[in-house]
Every structure is written in structure tokens, then in C-alpha cells.
Amino acid sequence: MKTYGGYLIDLDGTMYRGTERIEDASRFVHYLAEKNIPYLFVTNNSSQPPELVAKKLNEFDILATEDRVFTTSQATANFIAQKKANASVYMIGEEGLKQALQSSGLQLVDENPDFVVTGIDRELSYEKLAKACIAVRNGAAFISTNADIAIPTERGLLPGNGALTSVVSVSTNTKPIFIGKPEKIIVEQAIQVLGMDQDKVIMVGDNYDTDIKAGMNCGLDTLLVHTGVTTKVHLERYEQKPTYSVDSLTDYLNLLHS
């Protein structure tokens, strides 16, 4: 069985399930840490800064530090800063996006921005959407952290950033550039953070449409774990299969050692 030099790992559904621990995930990451195999958590959740994501992972007994977390907010900030250093940005989003943009030297403004960025925002208002629409109509480049249409919560599936983004795209008739999985942008950056050739890297996740497609889009091997969104039955519908699919990450460790 092929061994990998680095792992890109999804969070919700892969490392934990909402507020529920996944024992096999904890065991898997401990294994990587023991073997000194580099890994990076790659998340479409733009709301929290890396240190809070790492803290949450630690509470689920997953070994994680801030520098092992790569969020779509960071990827978005990098993407914009590469297009235009010190660009002005009008942002809809939460603390994780705000911090990422500011850390990349971008200027948060209310009017006449170079870029409009939309991320999940539980304090969304009509006024925020209005400002975004005006700016996009005035020519600002339109970026969205991710296209996820729903967020799983204890209350059910709530609107995800892809759904919120649609207000601006429908109203202005302008499609945004999406940064998060399944897009290549976030994964290409994550591979750079790992500092490794892509043929040594594998993408691990529970969601075929985001995690696995993101890996495939970048030519990575992929590992689908059936602890979240994509069940075995769902997987049958897809023609292109992941490199591996397992019921749990313990099963993957067993495969590695067989």
C-alpha cells in the first residue's frame, strides 16, 4: 500500500461530528504525529481563526496546533493579497475572515473596495448585502470563501455561505470566485503550506462533493471516510471513485499496516 508524505484533512464529519467525538479520528492523528508525518487540517469554515479551530480539535482529543490549521479565510486572504497587495476589501463575514484579511495586510473598508468577500455571517443584514451589491455593481472583484449551501447544526441544516453568497450573485448577475473545497485554490495553497510535492499528498474527508472533488481537482490521491456526509450508498452514484474509501480511519490504519 502506498504511503504518503503528507495529509490534508477535513474537519466536520471527518475529525468530529458536530459536537460529537470520533474516536478513530483521534487515533489516526495520533498515529501521524507519532510517525512525524506532516498533516494540515483544511476547512471551508471561515468563521473562526486557526487558534480557535485548534482549540476545538484539542477538546476532541485531536492533536492540533494553530499552524496545522488552514482555513478558507486564510486561503481567501492569500488569494486577494497575491492579486493586489494592500487591496481594499468590503467583507461580509465573521472573526476568522476578518483576522485573516487583516493579517494579510488587506484594508477593510465600507465603500469603493477593490474586492467584495462573502463568508458565513450569522450577523448578516440587508444593509451588509446592499453594500456588497453596490460595490460589485461598481466593479469590485467578487470573492466568496466557499459554496457550501448548508451547515449542519443541532437545529438542522442552516443556510451556508454558498446560499448567502447567492443574494449578491443573483442581484448583480455576477458569479463570484469561490476559494474553498471543491475548488483547487484552497488545496493548492494547502499543499504549499505542507511544502511537499502533490504526488506525496493525500486528501482525507467525509464529503465527496467538497473534500474528494477538491483532491481530485488537484490530482491528489483521496481517502473518503464514511463518518459524515457521503455514505457507501451515496458513493455508488459517483463514477470516479476516491483512491480509498473506509468506514473509519482505524480501518485506514489497518489497511496501511496490512
Binding footprint of its own copies on the chain (CB under 8 A): 121-127, 129-130, 133-134, 137-138, 149-150, 155-160, 162-164, 166-168, 170-173
Whether 10 is catalytic is yes
Using N-to-C axis directions, what is the helix angle for 95-103 and 72-83, rounded to 10°?
A: 30
3-class state of residue 40 by DSSP: strand
Cell numbers standing for residue 167: 443574494
175: DSSP letter: P
Q: Smaller CB distance to its own copies: residue 119 or 215?
A: 119
Nearest to 4 by CA among 191, 134, 141, 227: 191
Please, what is the minimum distance in Å from the beta carbon of residue 15 to its own copies? 24
Q: Smaller CB distance to its own copies: residue 37 or 157?
A: 157
Active-site residue, selected from the candidate residues 12, 121, 148, 206:
12
Residue 66 C-alpha from the chain's centroid? 15
Cis before residue 50, ω within 30 degrees of 0? Answer: no
Please, what is the minimum distance in Å from the beta carbon of residue 241 to its own copies? 25
Please, what is the minimum distance in Å from the beta carbon of residue 132 to its own copies? 9
Give me the count of residues in the chain: 258
Nearest to 207 by CA among 234, 240, 178: 234
Q: Smaller CB distance to its own copies: residue 124 or 196?
A: 124
Q: Smaller CB distance to its own copies: residue 145 or 172?
A: 172
Q: Smaller CB distance to its own copies: residue 24 or 114?
A: 114
As a whole number of angstroms, the distance between CA 15 and CA 20 comes to 9
Whether 12 is catalytic is yes
Is 68:74 a contact under the CB 8 Å cutoff?
no
Please, what is the minimum distance in Å from the beta carbon of residue 119 to its own copies? 12
Please, what is the minimum distance in Å from the beta carbon of residue 133 to its own copies? 5
As a whole number of angstroms, the distance between CA 13 and CA 51 comes to 20
Active-site residue, selected from the candidate residues 10, 121, 211, 221:
10
Strand partners, 205: 224
Looking up cell 505542507, which residue turns up? 194
Question: Catalytic residue numbers?
Answer: 10, 12
